[in-house]
Amino acid sequence: MKLGTVRLGRGHTAAARLQKQHCVLLPYSDVGALISSGTDWQERAAADTGERCRLTEISHTSLIPRPANVVRVEPNYAARLRETGGPSPAVPGFSVLHSCRPVGAHDDIRLPATGDDMDWGAQLGVVVGRRAHAVAAEKALGHVAGYTVINAVAVRDGRDRTLTSGVNDRPDVGIAVGPTMVTTDDTPMAGRGLAVSCLVDGWVRRKGNTSDLLFDVATIIAHVSSAVTLQPGDLIATGIPGPTGTGRGPRVTLETGQELVATVKGVGELRNMIV
């Protein structure tokens, strides 16, 4: 099942179940509100009720506009380690953004006001479906609602690590998420085997495959939930793939007016302008 958050006009939004040519509107303001509404959210989302709209008549806003936590795992690809020159981690390294306000699949991403050295790129996004605290890895996938696409643009500090806090109207990080969430019954187990890529103005600048994650989704949830209580609707960005080519060349610096296209095959595509 594919779910999204659509704009209805006059500032109103709604969660929707997307089908081939139309969507079914659900009585929730967004997908995050749907998931937080109770453990039977998936059954209610699949119910054949609600107003129908043609896909050509709707536009997508942020899948989950107000997640309690956005967890960013980094680094999580061997090619990414070669790019940064950092040591191989023994456990997933992560940072948590509180009160983050992600933008939608076709919205602008505001370029951080300071710093030329930035992290950016398509990532497999995990949407948390059930509260998770100190979850064992073998049970962790039961806390996943589905998968989405995340693109984060963040300034790096002089010690070559990402900043650990920030929201969309601050100068250090901007996040886009969506356009849809694909539930776990329609995706490969643990989101493995999915091609990930990021284009800048039509040129492929980053690519990878989720089968090459250093730490898989279950391991990430188990590790993160030992330190942070994850809530329904929280987002986990599983890591930025490495660059194309050797991975040790000069960084691509993002500039105003460029278009980033972030894709996870079988999950979705983001098209965001840098402003």
The CB density around residue 112, as the number of other CB atoms within 10 Å, is 21
Do the beta carbons of residue 34 and residue 65 sit within 8 Å? Answer: no
The CB density around residue 203, as the number of other CB atoms within 10 Å, is 10
Closest by CA position to 29, among listed 53, 82, 65, 57? 65
Amino acid making up residue 239: G
Task: Name the band, by pLDDT with cuts 50, 70 and 90, for residue 251.
Answer: low
Look at residue 171 and tell me whether its pLDDT is greater than 70: no
Task: Name the band, by pLDDT with cuts 50, 70 and 90, for residue 57.
Answer: confident
Structure-model confidence comparison of residues 199 and 114, the more confident one: 199
Amino acid making up residue 39: T
User: What is the per-residue pLDDT across 186-226, written as a single tens digit (0 to 9) for each?
Assistant: 999 999 999 999 999 999 999 999 999 999 999 999 999 99
User: What is the per-residue pLDDT across 125-166, written as a single tens digit (0 to 9) for each?
Assistant: 999 999 999 999 999 999 999 999 999 887 764 433 333 333
Distance CA 53, CA 218 (A): 36
User: What is the per-residue pLDDT across 9-32, written as a single tens digit (0 to 9) for each?
Assistant: 777 999 999 998 899 999 999 999
User: Where on the phi/psi map is residue 214: left (φ > 0), alpha (ψ -120 to 50), or beta?
Assistant: alpha
pTM value is 0.91
Read off φ and ψ for residue 79, nearest 5 degrees: -65, -30
**Residue 157: CB partners within 8 Å, gap ≥ 6?**
163
How high does pLDDT run on average in the chain? 88
Instruction: Determine the pLDDT at residue 173.
Output: 74
The structural domains of the chain, with segments of one domain joined by +, span: 2-57, 69-273
Tell whether omega for the bond before 243 is within 30 degrees of 0, i.e. cis: no
Q: Which fold has domain 69-273?
A: Fumarylacetoacetate hydrolase; domain 2 (3.90.850)
Distance CA 91, CA 208 (A): 20
Record the tokens describing residue 19, joined without a space. 């089908």
CA distances (Å), origin 251, targets 85, 134, 236:
13, 37, 25
In this structure, the dihedral spanned by the alpha carbons of residues 34, 176, 65 and 127, taken in order and rounded to 10 degrees, is: 30
Quick check: helix, strand or coil at residue 87? coil
Can you list the positions of beta strands (E) in the chain? 2-9, 12-18, 22-25, 52-54, 69-73, 94-98, 118-128, 144-155, 173-183, 195-200, 203-209, 235-237, 259-264, 268-273
Count of residues in the chain: 275
